[in-house]
Chains A and B, each alone.
Chain A
């Protein structure tokens, strides 16, 4: 049990270090939806670091796929219904994170770390609707 908690703790610590590095070096909050989403309405002089952060995410993904392939969901073919569900999920995640000014990283990690009431409220809200959605999908429908 203890060893199965070590990986989540270590992973979390690395995320906390990453957010700290970005704040110390670049003076930026490590909110993924904000960093990447702002590329859709680029502001001159504020693009390169966002692209490179995104590049770092992808490079990390490649490293994981190479060294720790079990990190990802096993490959699965997309049935028609599965694709529709994923499109709906993606639209909601993208729309909601930009409308609410943050996602799990920006509100959940960085915002709570700074004791922001807005971020605590946002985190409780998306946790609640996430739990409710999984409950409806798995136990009611």
Chain B
């Protein structure tokens, strides 16, 4: 229960940060990506501010043995760069540059009911679904294991098919 409240508050805070920072207006985002035009560098301070705060607080948080309302902190395998990561990031960047929306600002802006989000967000979920279906197939084909989630490693649950 408490973990649900903290997740809700985190989402709320995230959305307000995006709005105050200017990320929810695609005109700002496209102005930031338009380095050859009238470059609007202000959004660099959004990412800079977020990284500064999170990088400062992370070590303090990790002094605890475990999170407040969960069993463990996330673990990251030291996996190297692979094509999937880079191709995915490259495609994501093209979509970001075309529409001016990344997932957080798009979902936050959905609350306005604006027609462009009613087009963009379903398409985004369709793209996410397609990527997941393809990856599940690949995993199953390679190993004979079937994974019900290809998301964070910690949440993937696999069984022999």
A13 to B49, CA, bound (A): 5
A134 to B96, CA, bound (A): 9
The one of B23, B51, B101, B116 that contacts A16, using a Cβ cutoff of 8 Å: B51
Q: Contact mask B104-129 → A, CB, 8 Å, 1/0? A: 10111111101110011111111111
A57 to B102, CA, bound (A): 13
- The interface residues of chain A, by DSSP majority, are classed as helix
A113 to B104, CA, bound (A): 18
A4 partner residues in chain B, CB cutoff 8 A:
42
CB proximity to B under 8 Å, residues A72-131: 72-73, 75-78, 82-83, 85-101, 103-105, 107-110, 112-114, 116-118, 121-123, 125-131
- The interface residues of chain B, by DSSP majority, are classed as helix
**Cβ of B49 and Cβ of A15 under 8 Å apart?**
yes
A93 partner residues in chain B, CB cutoff 8 A:
92, 95-96, 99, 101-103, 106, 120, 124, 127
Q: How many residues of A contact B (CB 8 A)?
A: 112
Q: A18-B13, A27-B67, A68-B19 are in contact. Are A130 and B91 (CB under 8 A)?
A: no
**Cβ of B10 and Cβ of A21 under 8 Å apart?**
yes
Q: A121-B81, A122-B85 are in contact. Are A18 and B34 (CB under 8 A)?
A: no
**Cβ of A89 and Cβ of B88 under 8 Å apart?**
no
A36 partner residues in chain B, CB cutoff 8 A:
103, 107, 128
A-B contact pairs, 28 of them (CB 8 A): A8-B45, A12-B45, A15-B17, A18-B10, A24-B61, A26-B3, A26-B69, A26-B70, A37-B103, A41-B148, A43-B156, A61-B109, A63-B12, A64-B111, A71-B25, A86-B116, A90-B101, A94-B130, A100-B88, A100-B91, A108-B51, A121-B89, A122-B89, A125-B86, A126-B96, A129-B89, A130-B96, A133-B98
- The interface of chain B, by Cβ under 8 A from chain A, is 2-27, 30, 33-37, 42-55, 57-58, 61, 64, 66-74, 76, 79-81, 84-104, 106-112, 114-116, 119-132, 134-136, 148-152, 155-157
